[in-house]
Structure 1
């Protein structure tokens, strides 16, 4: 028997947006800082920051705004009040329970998260509290890095428990992060993996110590990876994204490299012989 396959018609994003906007609840807030770092906060704490239709539209708009922020170097995706994201808002989900509406939501969220992943900024998911469950797990793997607090529940692609499959691009991204064999294990068991297990799997990049403020730790962690000029950071992220989407894309690499060769930053580094100086302790 073949896997199920939806054959309905595609709808325009503007039409889907108008439909999703009807389902209120929560918000997604964007804060841009003077140091080139931004924070996207999922804000529906009474539902562990589960995503409503309105929040999906808000997230899309936040990503669009970041695409136009030429000084941006990094972005943290987090949830309000110490929880990351428990997935889709079940009150909203129950109201769009037809395959056609599910396909529309999937189309919209895949588009948003594809744009998010292609931002010329380094992205970090800060996973706390309830962790990233279902759609929350999918949001986490759309980020370049994942930081988890010691006490958070974990990351769980729990979709099969709900009788569904990932719909926001999570399957592709999970395979990309940890390989097909481990991805199949994660998806087919629908298990919630603890922070320690996520580190071993390659789903987490660091654990936030209990003694530290999670957001302060995340900002410092991201700051170390965005310390250079914004043009350099944005170009290196664009190069990595292009290489990932088009393997062995050497043309993009050389075209993004060439403008910096012999440029002001390169010349200054050559004068100071930076490459051969020891790292500050």
Structure 2
């Protein structure tokens, strides 16, 4: 049985169970959604990694409640319209395999909430661990100028601006749609005076500048992994995921040009995920600093301006 037909059977069960007349409280819907998700064929990898946390996010956010809402509220009864809202959200999660972040237009990164929709990928970069520790051991002083290349929702740019309150951050993306979402989040955090969305194909339209820190989470999924991805990922913009046969088409361009945009003590921090194996194989002599991340993430490296200049001939 395919996942689609299996989930369709669950949708029929939901209808037969007459859920609105059987369930009444927030706690009822949390338990029920948790059970349904455990029975369904779903993938968890867009902010949550298990069915309970995803049920919690869907139900509480669907009711316009914070994720840390007092548990005393869990015993309160829901109105008919609230029940129907939750039923619709659960049904869409099953039927369309839509990630919860798109259903609720809400995702979390570095402890901050961001608006997201299908114009951007859902924030989940392990670079969050580096932002939260202030890029410790990678930079010697707080950066004044930061570039977030391939900004998407703007989550990295905004989180950097919050961490370094004296810094200005350029948030660059090729997609105008993505930049429109980033602007929503920039305005949400009142950062229009310090975070600047810029439309450019990587560095091509950027004015000459010297950044103390370039942070980038570019598309890096290789062709094989892209074709094998769970259905949830196909709701995200493909241009934000795949990057050629080995997943490194965009990364190579960044490596070739980043040095021109870094200050003398500037550092490039780049995520390549599973494509790190391709990068190491292609550039065995380059001393990539593969950063150990407190959140367990892998595939993030750092290179100084001097290192980028030294090995530029290989990247070009």
Q: Same fold (TM over 0.5)?
A: no
TM-score normalized by structure 2?
A: 0.26
TM-score normalized by structure 1?
A: 0.28
Structure with greater helix percent: 1
Larger Rg: 2
